[in-house]
Amino acid sequence: MTMHTWDPERYLTYADERGRPFVDLLARIAHPRPGRVVDLGCGPGNLTALLATRWPRADVVGLDSSPQMIEAARRDIPGIDFAVADVRGWEPAAPVDVLVSNATLQWLPEHLDLLPRLVAGVTPGGWFGFQVPGNFAEPSHSIRRDLAAEPRYAAHTAGVAVPSSHDASTYYGVLAGLGCVVDAWETTYLHVLSGPDPVFTWVSGTGARPTLQALPDDLRPGFEAEFKARLRAAYPTREDGTVVLPFRRVFVVAQMPAR
């Protein structure tokens, strides 16, 4: 898999819209007084700060595999311990009372296989909640896939990281099979965006970023121009100057069995 880096500033362009699913996820986690809370895939830390606000007496830790994201989080979010860590190899030094992961697991093709280990790191009666995008059949993704597969680009984009996820019932089945009490649901948000090529701005900070980074400098401008044109056709500007981006998300909240 071709490696890529993250740009915290680009990612935060639509921070409010990206943060809504995290708030909805957090609302369903009912732990009254956790001692240790971990955010797996914390990004620039702006949402991890909500965990410290929700549980001010908890030891809150934010982990992300991107050094760029962790650097931004340490700079901008005081009072929280941030560290570089990869979800695939992470194991807590001590059991966690609340474990959350927001828009991270979709980058790991094997993430269903990781769920038992993540559950094992949560205290009996503790909570594990995650959210993943479920919009990979939408034009914002299919246009990128089709364009990246064209002959002039394919040699450079083969093997880049691409996100994927499962439906709510699949996650329910895995976690219920581990003895958890599971709440799983889906929500489609209608993000109202503005500015020049707002859908491109959105996807270039997340799902399309690995593809864009994989392209050489002489091919990237042409790819971006065509990508923007196709996105404008798929997501037309409304009379009020805004663009509506439908975005399906899959949510899972699981309470661990008491041992």
pLDDT tens digits, one per residue of 45-60: 999 999 999 999 999 9
Q: What angle do CA 129, 54, 83 make, to 5 degrees?
A: 65
pLDDT at 5 over 70: no
Provide the H-helix boundaries in the chain: 8-11, 15-27, 48-54, 67-76, 111-120, 139-148, 151-157, 168-177, 198-204, 209-214, 220-234
pLDDT of res. 232:
98
pLDDT of res. 15:
60
Query: What mean pLDDT, rounded, does the chain reach?
Result: 92
pLDDT band at 17 (very low <50, low <70, confident <90, very high): confident
pLDDT band at 8 (very low <50, low <70, confident <90, very high): very low
**pLDDT tens sequence across 97-143:** 999 999 999 999 999 999 999 999 999 999 999 999 999 999 999 99
pLDDT at 4 over 70: no
* Domains by residue range for the chain, with CATH: 8-255 (3.40.50.150)
Q: Among 4-18, 66-80, 95-109, which is the least confidently predicted range?
A: 4-18
